[in-house]
Structure 1
Amino acid sequence: MTARILVVDDVAANVKLLEDRLTAEYFDVVTAPDGATALELCARAQCDIVLLDVMMPGIDGFEVCRRLKADPKTHHIPVVIITALDQPSDRVRGLEAGADDFLTKPASDVALFARVRSLARLKMLGDELRLRAQTTREIGMSDALMEAVSDTGEHGRVLLVDDRELSSARIRDALAATQSVDVEVEPHEALFRAADGDYDVAVVSLSLENFDALRLCAQIRSLERTRMLPILLIADPEQHSRVLRGLEVGVTDYLMRPIDANELVARVRTQVRRRRYTERLRANLQTSMELAITDGLTGLHNRRYMEMHLQALLDQAASRDRPLSALVVDIDFFKKVNDIHGHDAGDDVLREFSRRLKASVRGIDLAVRLGGEEFVVVMPETDGAVARIVAERIRTKTAAAPFQIRGGEATLEVTVSVGVASFLGAEDDAGALLKRADVALYRAKTDGRNRVAADAA
């Protein structure tokens, strides 16, 4: 997997060394001699991952990282701090600034490339969601990117998989002040708990007895419900090669023993933030998809959704030789409601009618607001006789009780007219079916409204 890597270092020899190593692995490399240039390049979306030195003139690496993570436009770019600083306090400072990882110079090629590829995969998975979230922000939805920037990464739910009591107790105690921790000592049960527990991060010991911890990590990645769950691996120093293998199978981050409690807390907070960020983007994507196929006023499906699915329903009915019927429903004298009582009252009528319409049809039926006061109901497995019964039910439910408008201050008598048509088989199509139902609706209106008329075909 390739990516565009931004190398930021004020020492030309260091830049050249990293550039040559990364280029040899087919990464596209961009360089910056200082923090200000790096911020400018990132703002122009010219990199996928930032490899950042700390000790630079002007803006140091910690401040560059903080600014990148505080800006919704660059918050999503993974940052790896690579520096000669090697104290636990330095790592914690980098992680608290928002860095995704902290490598000490000289970083081995194997460790560097494994980390870069792992972060590139994570970024690629999130990019589509992020772009959708930016689009939905433009139509007034909640800004998932701004929420991600302000998230502290605290009060998350952590699943700790460790079968050594002393080790699990130390990790749990270190995290207790900032996270809610559940301990699972049975690796076989951990996968089920991860799938059912709505956790923000899984912390897995690589030293599980009688079970391959990396297999558990791979299984977590393979399940749809846990595919995006961050995994933090806890390993012993001699297990470094296994850690690199873990990054290849989907481990998100790792920490070597002996564990520094502050670094553990910082790394878990980073993963909790990443999880929440992804979930916010996913929720925005789901909402945007629903907006694309749903009528905002009534909650029914819209014309676009019907056009995408009606022909498929007809094809299915034809292949199975099963009946299908369609209703076109129109609210009688709706223009007068708007003219006399105002458009707010008209909206009240549309919402209440939609509620009664949904209560009159089955879950498998496709109820659509076609536009204005016109609605369509497509009913699979329904012949003409049954469709007329349903149409009559809709008509009577509409006329049975007055509609409240203006928050209940007034009521209106509302009626509807309904046209019914049935699918004629493989030679029929969606346009012809709806045209026949529309002709039947016109006849119902010319015959006096508040009635049902069926297609004569």
Structure 2
Amino acid sequence: MSVQGTILVLDGVSTNRIMLKVQLTAAWYHVVQGERLAGLAALLRRTRPDLVLTAQTLPDGTASDVKKVMAADPALIDVPIVAIAPQNDKAARLRALSDGLDDVLGHPFKDTLLLARVRSLLRARADRQELHLRDDSHSIGFGESAQVLLAPPPIAQIAILTQTARTGALWRKCLAGQTRHLLTNHTLPDLKGVLSGATPDAIVVELGSDASGRNLLADLRSRGATRNTVLVGVSPDENPGRAAEALDRGADAVCMGGFHTDEISLRLETLIARKTRDDRLRATLRKGLADSLTDPLTGLHNRRYAMRALDQIARQAPEEGRGFALMLADLDHFKAINDRFGHAAGDLVLTEAAHRLQAAIGETGFVARIGGEEFMIGLPNTSTEQALKQAEMICESICGQPFRLPDHPALIPVTISVGVKLCAPPELARRDETDPVSQAIRSADKALYAAKRAGRNQVYIRQSAA
């Protein structure tokens, strides 16, 4: 049997624990049991659960106390906690949500609803774990990354989708007195109105007796723009089957028994705070990826990016039936600039040269700094004439105007040598053991040295294979 995750069940009543264990074990979850707050920290360290189901009241504490114990361990801060409260105890439900628990299930409950909620929470946790794994700075040697806590989110956009405009206006009016976030309301067919502007941070969807609301949840969760949007369903009754289906279709939470302003505002606040944290982490990851492909001094792409881009250009060229050009360019006598004016001045020259090279290439290809004063340029879909013209523009962009340094009144003349390798479709179509990218780089490197030997400040082209 494949175990799908570890769930800790906390309840002072043994029959309740046994019932939950039977339900969860049948769904292939590994169940660990506890009955009180005492000894919980050690039990958590030993079992490392993926989710905790706890009675609202334990013999020596509450579900809120369970959350406090878990919050003290950074490794458990993302583990979902679901409180189990009496079916009609609205005060207990609101208290648990106010304490920051992930959900509250009214006892007794149907297996379908329990398992759907477990699946939903475990999916969400798996997504967050994936974000943290990607952000794990141990792998690159910068020590332990800081734990990001749930902070009050900025002003968020919340869209309300209901069957009728009247219901939407009523819900919006009720929520306006409970939340600081910006609210809009739409009818269910008006999905275009919801998605035409800025993507909402959260969407509240009315789940009627028909399937339109549940289908909409699946639609929203599948779209790139709303994949990470908070989705809250509102069911008019206590129908567990409808709630379970909504959770399986992508809802982050389902409020049963109609629209309850207090409950919905509490759920939205917690879920939007979590989304805000995850969005910041995603932004950090995107920036980290961009930084890993960027030269920090010049802002150009680096060697890692250049090799990937060049490989992609080489693979696509035979399919498109057009060749490409690879250029290696090197600032002439750059060491003399460093020796005379200092390395800070040399860095300024490199930065300005990078700006000029990027301006000369524009959107036609890529420019990367691959060494001290050496640059790589890749031009897809390029003929011999186009490549020669582009290379001459590169030379002119550097030597056409002297470089100015802030602390030196004298202008610095700088030139550049360029080696070009033209890769034509017949050459690319040959199937042999030679790596076309490495071969092209070697040829461009030989062309660059030929330009240097010929007196520098010029272009040398190689059209034949190395």
Tell me which interval the TM-score lies in, with the shorter structure as reference length: 0.7 to 0.9
| Alpha-carbon shift at residue 34 of structure 1 (Å) | 4.1
CA distance in 1, matches of 2:167, 2:394: 65
Q: Structure 1: where are the runs of 5+ without partners?
A: none
Q: 5 Å matches for 1:283-322?
A: 283-322=283-322
2: distance between equivalents of 1:445 and 1:313?
A: 27
Residue 228 of structure 2 is matched in structure 1 by 228
More helix by share: 1
Greater mean deviation of Cα atoms: 11-20 or 105-114: 11-20
Partner of 1:199: 200
- The answer to whether structure 1 residue 437 and structure 2 residue 427 are counterparts is no
Equivalent residues of 1:5, 1:28 under 8 A apart: yes
Q: Name the TM-score, length of structure 2 as normaliser.
A: 0.86
Match of 2:185 in 1: 183
**Aligned match of 1:393:** 393
Separation in 2, partners of 1:107, 1:28: 20
- What is the CA distance between 1:238 and its match in structure 2? 4.9
**What one-letter code is carried by the residue in structure 1 that aligns with 2:449?**
Y
SS of residue matched to 1:237: coil
CA distance in 2, matches of 1:191, 1:51: 39
Match of 1:52 among 51, 54, 58: 54
1:28 Cα deviation from its structure 2 partner? 1.6
State the alpha-carbon separation in 2 of the partners of residues 314 and 138 from structure 1: 30
SS in 2 for 1:81: strand
Q: Return the offset for 1:377.
A: 0.7
Mapped pair 1:415 → 2:422: no
Matched with 1:214 is: 214
1:26 to 28, 33, 37: 28
Q: Secondary structure at the match of 1:299?
A: coil
Q: Aligned residue for 1:446?
A: 453
Amino acid at match of 2:441: L
Q: 1:141 to 1:332 in 2, by over 3 A?
A: farther
CA distance in 2, matches of 1:450, 1:406: 25
1-structure distance, mates of 2:409, 2:52: 61
- Residue number in structure 2 paired with 1:172: 172
Superposed CA deviations along residues 345-386 of structure 1, whole A, max 9, x for unmatched, are 333222222111111114241322212211111111212332
3-state SS of 2:182 partner: strand
Aligned partners of 1:39 and 1:64 also within 8 Å: no
Judged with a 3 Å threshold, the aligned counterparts in structure 2 of structure 1 residues 150 and 227 are, in CA distance, closer, same or farther, namely closer
Q: Distance in 2 between matches of 1:410 and 1:17?
A: 85
Matches within 5 A, 1:3-82: 3-35=5-37, 37-39=39-41, 46-56=48-58, 60-66=62-68, 68=70, 73-82=75-84
The CA RMSD over aligned residues, in Å, is 3.1
Q: Does the CA contact (< 8 Å) of 2:137 and 2:144 recur in 1? A: no
Pairs within 5 Å for 1:313-392: 313-392=313-392
Distance 1:151 1:331, change over 3 A: same
Given that residues 423 and 463 in structure 2 are in contact (C-alpha distance below 8 angstroms), is that contact kept between their aligned partners in structure 1?
A: no
Equivalent residue letter for 1:6: L
Q: Deviations over 1:246-266 (max 9, x none)?
A: 112112111123543222210
* Equivalent-residue separation in structure 1 for 2:165 and 2:7 (angstroms): 41
Gaps of 5+ in 2: none
Query: Which deviates more, 281-290 or 83-92?
Result: 83-92
Q: Secondary structure at the match of 2:233?
A: strand
Cα deviation per residue 1:279-331 (whole Å; 9 max; x = unaligned)? 22322232232233332332322222233342332233234431211110112
Counting aligned pairs with the same residue, the percent is: 31
Contact residue 436 and residue 455 of structure 1 kept, 8 A? yes
Measure how far apart 1:191 and its partner are. 5.0
The separation in 1 between residues aligned to 2:47 and 2:378, in whole angstroms, is 46
244-253 vs 39-48, greater mean Cα deviation: 39-48
Contact 2:87 2:108 in 1 (8 A): no
Larger deviation: 91-100 or 312-321?
312-321
Counterpart Cα distance in 2 of 1:352 and 1:41: 60
Count of residues in correspondence between the two structures: 453
Matched residues in 1 for 2:249 and 2:384: separation? 56
Deviation at 1:101, TM superposition (A): 0.3
Q: Among 130, 142, 146, which residue is 2:132 paired with?
A: 130
Report 1:85-96 matches (<5 A). Answer: 87-96=89-98
